[in-house]
Amino acid sequence: MVFLHKNNKFYKANIMNPISKAEENHLKAIFNLCEEFSKPASTNAIAKIMKTKAASVTAMIKRLSEKHPALVNHQKHKGASLTETGKKIATNLIRKHRLWETFLVEKLNFSWDEVHEIAEELEHIKAEKLIDRLDEFLGRPKFDPHGDPIPDAKGNFTFRKQILLTELAAHKTAVVVGVMDDSPSFLQYLDKLNLVLGAKVKILERIEYDGSNRILLNDKQEQILTNKVCQNLYVKTL
């Protein structure tokens, strides 16, 4: 099979055509945006995630569709979404990312605010056997250090009944299981508050004035959490 390329040049559509790092990152961005908003990912939104410009995204999507047909769906001005094959690839990247993060925290003693950047690079290492072995070595973890689900080799995510801490009823108790915002600054702040995964939180009082919450942490420590903090913390009721 041959594909028409710009300037009327042809090139073979090599089945082994490897997906580049930039292409992989774009696929992941499109996947995440489509998941979050349940609609095609806009050029601008992708550019923001990729820290590039809209024009670069348009060019990338064009190149992607030509080089690897059957990964991305795209109509001019209508945004991009992934085909099933594209989703498989994106899911596998997320799997790799989260497994590496888990490795860094569990085995190399990194803290949860340090691992994202490194995993962002490690996820692009292409060796299926490596990731299978890593998964096994880590004991086939179901969640990463931020509480995000790690898809299995087939791409299946584990779902968990979780709510935001803002949604937890007053006087109820729950356990911190994840974060919505995984920026280093938020994670570091959570560390300072001892609000790590597994922490037990009881809502003592919800303050109407500003939506802040008086909580009891791990059955002993009383403190105030702003609404913003609670809005970014996932908990699971006991």
Partner DNA sequence: TACCATTTTTAGATTAATCTAAAAAATATT
Partner DNA sequence: AATATTTTTTAGATTAATCTAAAAATGGTA
- Contacts to Mn ion by CB under 5 A: 25, 101, 120, 144, 146, 148
d(CA 224, CA 227): 10
Q: Which residue's CB is nearer to a copy of itself, number 18 or number 69?
A: 18
DSSP 2: E
Of Mn ion, DNA, a copy of itself, none, which one sits near residue 165, judging by CB under 5 to 8 A according to partner kind?
none
Contact, 130 vs 208, CB < 8 A?
no
Integer Cα distance of 58 and 72 in angstroms: 12
**153-186 per-residue burial string, b: 16 or more CB within 10 A, e: under 16:** eeeeeeeeebeebbebeeeeebebbbbeebeeeb
Site for a copy of itself contains 130 (CB under 8 A): yes
- Of the residues 11, 37, 137, 189, which one makes contact with DNA according to CB under 7 A: 11
Decide: residue 49, CB within 10 A, 0-12 exposed, 13-18 middle, 19+ buried: middle
Given 3, 11, 137, 189, the residue binding a copy of itself (CB under 8 A): 137
Name the minimum Å distance from CB 184 to a copy of itself: 14
Q: How far is the CB of 50 from a copy of itself (least distance, A)?
A: 18
Nearer to Mn ion, 102 or 166 (CB): 102
Which does residue 172 bind out of a copy of itself, Mn ion, DNA, none, counting CB within 5 to 8 angstroms by kind? none
